[in-house]
């Protein structure tokens, strides 16, 4: 596997594990001092323990109601642009994403945005040092969510 393929795999693994609520696997992708933040939503944390606590809460891990709800993560990463530094030890990735929300048995666009990753290579793999997401949620989506009772599927 080339370095670019390994970097892309890390980005895709993050999204796959996040969507599956596999918080331990998500956290393992970060460096010990990794940073996770949403630039426009005033959310963020630093360090694996804080990232784990944030994601457990945000994703409702262990909460039976959250596990059964139709509000399960469904984000997809598209158009990743990878810049591998000349030293081969650091890289940046900028990618677009869109997130789906399942309502009435079907997917609906919930949000979209851009994620920037700063990665570093350790002895075993590429790890995320900083992940920053800018989310855009349309007024139409917010209106639909505000006026709809969400039920378990």
pLDDT digits 0-9 by tens, 88-134: 999 999 999 988 877 777 777 878 899 999 999 999 999 999 999 98
Q: Which residue has the higher pLDDT, 55 or 105?
A: 55
If you count them, how many residues does the chain have?
153
Q: Could you tell me the two tokens for 117?
A: 């990753």
For tokens 């370095």, what's the residue?
3
Residue 20: per-residue pLDDT: 86
Answer whether residue 147 shows pLDDT above 70.
no
| pLDDT, mean over the chain | 84
DSSP designation for 88? S
Could you tell me which of 73, 71, 79, 148 has the C-alpha nearest to residue 113?
Answer: 79
CATH class of 3-146: alpha beta
């Amino acid at each position: 596997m080339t370095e670019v393929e390994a970097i892309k795999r890390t980005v895709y693994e993050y999204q796959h594990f996040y969507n599956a609520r596999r918080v331990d696997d998500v956290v393992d992708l970060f460096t010990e001092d990794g940073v996770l933040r949403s630039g426009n939503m005033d959310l963020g944390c630093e360090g694996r323990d804080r990232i784990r606590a944030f994601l457990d809460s945000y994703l409702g891990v262990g909460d039976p109601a959250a596990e059964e709800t139709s509000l399960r993560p469904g984000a997809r990463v598209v158009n990743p642009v990878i810049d591998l530094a000349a030293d081969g030890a650091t890289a940046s990735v900028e990618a677009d994403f869109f997130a789906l929300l399942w309502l009435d048995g079907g997917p609906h666009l919930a949000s979209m945005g851009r994620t920037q990753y700063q990665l570093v290579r350790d002895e075993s793999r590429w790890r995320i040092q900083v992940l920053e997401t800018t989310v855009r949620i349309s007024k139409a989506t917010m209106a639909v969510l505000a006026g709809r009772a969400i039920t378990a599927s």
